[in-house]
A = this chain, B = another copy of it.
Amino acid sequence: MAEKKYCIGADIGGTTVKLGLFDTEGTVLEKWEIPSRTENEGAAILPDLAASIRAKLEERKLNPEEVAGVGVGVPGPVSEEGVVPHTANLGWGYKEVTRELSMMTGLPCKAGNDANVAALGEMWMGGAKGYKNVLLLTLGTGVGGGIVVNGRILTGAHGAGGEIGHIHVEDGVEDSCGCGNHGCLEQFASATGIVRICREILENSEEPSLLREGEVTAKAVFDAVKQGDALAMRTAERFGKYLGTACAVMASILDPDVIVIGGGVSKAGEVLLEYVRKYYGPVVYKAARETPFVLATLGNDAGIYGCAKLILD
């Protein structure tokens, strides 16, 4: 059998499939994208993906025997066996992703939830490099996340492990979360959540604020924090309390080596981590008190890195 020199990561999103060709040491050799054709229940997505992979191997004259396989990230729950029950964003119903793709490419395939796979990517070559127990939070439009335990993704019984955005953090919330519940972390710690907190603070105060002009966005809030804006800082305190307490709860039971914060909101940088740490320290179990918080470093590429790593494990 030929030595395995390469691996492929394919992160399937609702609009595009991001692909990466890697060597087995984690160096990305090439990145490319293809559209996700979600019409007709997403029937073309896997055939398109398989064709693109075959074309790339031919173009680069790579021997398929030297390719360890293809890891796939899916925006929904994925079982340990690589089966998805239903993936709304892609139009998929029940689908045996790894089995189908493996038959179409002739390569070994594995699949994981996209947020979980991103955690694996950050562990392999990103902010959590060198660690084996990782808690990743992705703060974007929603709050996603992934948990890696002893180097392996925590998949859970229904492929829903690491659904960090939907832990209950507040009673008596009237608005409902995208998941149907009320008072989820996502309602306070996502980009939309921060805007929600900020609007409420602006409405209940007469104080001047930089945020009274222009559009209120998560970025605008943290920019204003950096300029010492009082209402922005009050917003950041509330955000920090929700996120810091939630991280403490998770770290108390998971005891991770490191907590990684990624997603668009994390572009605010160190200042964001300060607000989170402030509320984390006093309530976390002592063993995890010094656990470092770091920023994710792979951005939108975390998925393809994690997919590639998945197939190497």
Contacts and interface: CB of A to CB of B under 8 A. Distances in A.
A291 interface: yes
Give the bracket for the number of chain A residues in contact with chain B: 35 or more
Contact of A255 (B158, B252, B282): B158
Interface of A is mostly: loop
Number of this chain's copies in the assembly equals: 2
A77 B180 CA distance: 38
A16 interface: no
A285 B144 CA distance: 13
A226 to B, nearest CB: 28
A255 B163 contact: yes
Contact of A252 (B155, B163, B287): B163
A154 interface: yes
B183 A283 contact: yes
Contacts of A181: 282-286
A164 interface: yes
Contacts of A150: 80, 152, 155
B288 A248 contact: no
B160 A288 contact: yes
Contacts of A31: none
Contact of A160 (B80, B164, B183, B285): B285
Contacts of A114: none
Contacts of A131: 157
B256 A253 contact: no
A266 interface: no
A162 interface: yes
Contact of A285 (B133, B179, B183, B253): B179
